[in-house]
A and B are shown apart, each in its own frame.
Chain A
Amino acid sequence: MNMLLLNGVSEKEDDAYQIYQVIDRCLKESDHQVHSYNLYQMNIAPCMGCFACWIDTPGECIINDDGRLIAKELMQHDAVIFLSPVTFGGYSFELKKAVDRFIPNVMPFFRINQNEIHHIPRYQKYPNLIFIGTLPDKNPGMENTFFHLNQRNVINMYPNLYSQAIFYYHQSEEEIRIKFHQLMKDVEQI
Chain B
Amino acid sequence: MNPCPKKRVSLLVGSPKRKNSASATLGLYLCNQLDSQKFDYQEIHLRSALSDKQNINVSYWLNDILKSDVLIFSSPLYVDCLPSYVFQVFEKIYQERKKTRDPKEIQFLAIINSGFPESSQSQTALDICQHFAGESGMLWLGGLLLGAGFIVGGRDIRKMGWLFKNIKKSLDLSAAAINHGKVIPVEAFHIMGKPFLSKKLFCWIGNIGFKQMAKRNGTVRQLYDRPYEKEQMI
Contacts and interface: CB of A to CB of B under 8 A. Distances in A.
Whether chain B is bound by chain A comes out as: yes
Interface of A: 46-49, 54-60, 71-72, 74-76, 87-93, 96-97, 99-100, 102-103, 105, 107-112, 116-118, 122-123, 125, 141-142, 144-145, 148-149, 152-153, 156
Contacts of A49: 15-17, 76, 78, 83
17 contacts: A46-B47, A47-B83, A55-B214, A57-B219, A58-B223, A72-B227, A88-B135, A89-B128, A96-B78, A96-B81, A96-B84, A100-B79, A108-B223, A110-B207, A116-B121, A123-B228, A145-B131
Most chain A CB atoms below 10 A, which of B17, B76, B118, B128: B128
A74 to B, nearest CB: 8
Interface residues of B, number: 52
A105 B131 contact: no
Given A74-B228, A90-B81, A152-B80, 8 more contacts: A56-B217, A97-B84, A97-B85, A107-B223, A108-B210, A117-B199, A125-B230, A156-B80
A57 B225 CA distance: 9
A89 B222 contact: no
A47 B16 contact: yes
Nearest to A155: B80
Question: Lowest 4 CB-CB distances: which A-B pairs, in order?
Answer: A152-B80, A97-B84, A96-B84, A75-B228
B91 A122 contact: no
B60 interface: no
B124 interface: yes
B158 interface: no
Contacts of A149: 80-81, 124, 128
Given A110-B202, A117-B202, A122-B224, A75 B128 contact: no
A105 B212 CA distance: 20
B221 to A, nearest CB: 9
A93 B88 contact: yes
Contacts of A117: 116-118, 199, 202-203
A112 B206 CA distance: 12
B208 to A, nearest CB: 10
Contacts of A156: 79-80
Contacts of A107: 223-224
Interface in B188-234: 199-200, 202-203, 206-207, 210, 213-214, 217, 219, 222-231
A51 B187 CA distance: 34
B85 to A, nearest CB: 5
A100 B77 CA distance: 10
B164 interface: no
Contacts of B88: 93
Contacts of B121: 116, 152
B61 interface: no
Contact of B207 (A71, A76, A109, A141): A109
A88 B230 CA distance: 34
A90 B82 contact: yes
Contacts of A96: 78-79, 81-84, 87
Nearest to B78: A100
Contacts of A118: 116
Contacts of B203: 110-112, 117
Q: Which of A55, A71, A125, A142: most chain B CB closer than 10 A?
A: A55
